[in-house]
């Protein structure tokens, strides 16, 4: 693995001021894992917050010295990258409830001395934003030059622009949506059902049993993967190719073992995920996705909901993304235009479905680069 940022070391930030949650509960104290790249300038005007999606973390870019893994958006963030760490100070935060070091279901509940498990509160996108605001406070950042995210990360960026309008100069929402559709919720619910019905789930309290619901997690991830890729991309990558040893006959085996390449790929992805991801976190984060709907408090009127924003917007979608299709981004853009907000919208012709937001595509990256050049000028980065 390689990264122009080299090794980066996350910090664990402890917060002991209670965080009031949207569900009415509160977390008395919590930790957040944070990683930063670049240097905060004297005016503290060059900070950019990167919000992560379902299975990602604070480890946005560079190489983690423990796992030796490259960050999930390393092609976007770094010296000379579209989000240039020579000019900007970039912060990645692992969200509450996630399983990469921040306080979540695997953490010990101080009240019981045992892992929270199923008793970890249901967390929302808005809760994450409040928690991230405290990270900004800790760095003395009054206003972000930009808050940016893809997919669920884009929802957080949008929520920032609504909840802390004075603290976000630019809001960058990529491959996202102002709310899940019934079909999106349906896919989430199937994934959760797979986890819940795994006997190793034990109602969410599997840590004490020394097991984890691997079968359920595997199925959840396989479903996810289908929705991240486009139909065309799957056809190009796998088609109906059979999984065969070099030189073997291209004939059916008539069995339930792996027969097609696409099966092998899905099983591999599912197995890998089941090892490193936490099932309670999967439930929590998919539920946060379901619940996000800033227009709900305005009788479904997105334009009314977005009236609170003051940021400049950059919205991007990808033509073959069927999870959060361009139409969902256009819905957001239309509402912003009605409000006469400054908004740039790009619909990028890319074959890779929802995953495109993570991939290195020159047209996409050039647009982000241009936006950050504009932002750099504005904030004197």
Question: Residue from 31, 69, 205, 293 that binds a copy of itself (CB under 8 A)?
Answer: 293
Rg of the chain over CA atoms, in angstroms? 21
Stretch that binds a copy of itself, among 3-11, 46-54, 166-174, 182-190 (CB under 8 A): 182-190
CA distances from 210 to 104, 189, 200, 201 (A): 18, 26, 9, 11
Question: Residue from 5, 47, 262, 348 that binds a copy of itself (CB under 8 A)?
Answer: 262
Q: Least distance from C-beta 215 to a copy of itself, angstroms?
A: 3
Instruction: Identify whether the C-beta of residue 321 lies closer than 8 Å to the C-beta of residue 154.
Output: no
Known active-site residue 102: no
* 3-class DSSP state of 49: strand
Which of 14, 221, 228 lies closest to 101, judged by CA? Answer: 14
Question: Residue from 222, 306, 336, 368 that binds a copy of itself (CB under 8 A)?
Answer: 222
Check residue 22 for interaction with a copy of itself (CB under 8 A): yes
CA distances from 32 to 38, 264, 332 (A): 20, 36, 30
Q: Does the annotation list 12 as a binding residue? A: no
Known active-site residue 321: yes
Residues in region 294-353 near a copy of itself by CB under 8 A: 296
Check residue 192 for interaction with a copy of itself (CB under 8 A): yes
Q: Least distance from C-beta 255 to a copy of itself, angstroms?
A: 6
CA distances from 216 to 27, 200, 279, 283, 362 (A): 28, 9, 8, 11, 37
| Cα 155 to Cα 152: distance, rounded to the nearest angstrom | 5
Check residue 237 for interaction with a copy of itself (CB under 8 A): yes
| Cα 183 to Cα 187: distance, rounded to the nearest angstrom | 6
Check residue 219 for interaction with a copy of itself (CB under 8 A): yes
Stretch that binds a copy of itself, among 17-25, 35-43, 337-345, 369-377 (CB under 8 A): 17-25
| Cα 54 to Cα 65: distance, rounded to the nearest angstrom | 23
Known active-site residue 354: yes
Stretch that binds a copy of itself, among 72-80, 102-110, 187-195, 368-376 (CB under 8 A): 187-195
Q: What is the enclosing helix (H) or strand (E) of 77?
A: strand 77-78
Question: Residue from 58, 81, 167, 179 that binds a copy of itself (CB under 8 A)?
Answer: 179
How distant is the alpha carbon of residue 140 from its chain centre? 25
Residue 93: strand pairing partners: 34
Q: Least distance from C-beta 135 to a copy of itself, angstroms?
A: 24
Q: Does the annotation list 127 as a binding residue? A: no
| Cα 4 to Cα 19: distance, rounded to the nearest angstrom | 36
How many chain residues are in contact with a copy of itself, going by CB under 8 A?
56
Instruction: Identify whether the C-beta of residue 175 lies closer than 8 Å to the C-beta of residue 227.
Output: no
Check residue 291 for interaction with a copy of itself (CB under 8 A): yes
Question: Residue from 113, 254, 340, 362 that binds a copy of itself (CB under 8 A)?
Answer: 254
Binding site for a copy of itself (CB under 8 A): 22-24, 121-122, 124, 179-183, 185-187, 189-190, 192-194, 196-199, 215-216, 218-219, 222-223, 225-226, 229, 231, 234-235, 237-240, 252, 254-256, 259-260, 262-263, 266-267, 270, 283, 287, 290-291, 293, 296
User: Which residues define the annotated binding site for substrate?
Assistant: 221, 355
């Amino acid at each position: 693995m390689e990264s122009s940022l080299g090794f980066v070391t996350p910090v664990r930030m402890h917060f002991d001021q209670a965080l009031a949650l949207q569900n009415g509960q509160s977390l008395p104290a919590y930790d957040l894992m944070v990683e930063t790249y670049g240097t905060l300038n004297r005016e503290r005007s060059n900070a950019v917050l990167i919000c992560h999606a379902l299975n990602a973390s604070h480890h946005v870019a560079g190489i983690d010295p423990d796992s030796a893994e490259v960050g999930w958006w390393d092609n976007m963030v770094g010296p000379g990258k579209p989000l240039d760490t020579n000019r900007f100070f970039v912060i990645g935060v692992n969200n509450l409830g996630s399983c990469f070091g921040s306080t979540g279901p695997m953490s010990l509940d101080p009240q019981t001395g045992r892992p929270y498990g199923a008793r970890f509160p249901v967390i929302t996108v808005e809760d994450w934003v409040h928690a991230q605001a405290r990270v900004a406070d800790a760095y003395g950042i009054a206003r972000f030059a930009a808050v940016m995210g893809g997919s669920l990360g884009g929802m957080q960026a949008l929520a920032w622009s609504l909840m802390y309008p004075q603290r976000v100069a630019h809001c960058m929402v990529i491959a996202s949506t102002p709310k899940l559709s019934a079909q999106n919720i349906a896919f989430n619910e199937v994934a959760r059902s797979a986890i819940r019905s795994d006997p190793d789930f034990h109602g969410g309290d599997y840590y004490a049993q020394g097991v984890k619901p691997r079968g359920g997690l595997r199925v959840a991830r396989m479903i996810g993967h289908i929705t991240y890729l486009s139909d065309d991309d799957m056809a190009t990558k796998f088609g109906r190719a059979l999984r065969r040893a070099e030189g073997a006959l291209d004939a059916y085996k008539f069995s339930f073992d792996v027969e097609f390449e696409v099966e092998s790929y899905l099983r591999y992805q599912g197995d890998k995920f089941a090892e490193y991801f936490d099932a309670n976190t999967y439930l929590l984060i998919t539920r946060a996705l379901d619940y996000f709907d800033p227009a709900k408090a305005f009788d479904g009127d997105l334009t009314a909901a977005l009236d609170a924003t003051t940021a400049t917007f950059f919205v991007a979608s990808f033509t073959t993304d069927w999870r959060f299709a361009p139409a969902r981004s256009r819905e957001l853009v239309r509402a912003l235009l009605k409000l006469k907000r400054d908004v740039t919208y790009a619909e990028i012709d890319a074959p890779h479905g929802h995953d495109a937001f993570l991939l290195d595509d020159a047209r996409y990256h050039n647009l982000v680069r241009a936006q950050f050049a504009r932002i750099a000028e504005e904030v004197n980065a």
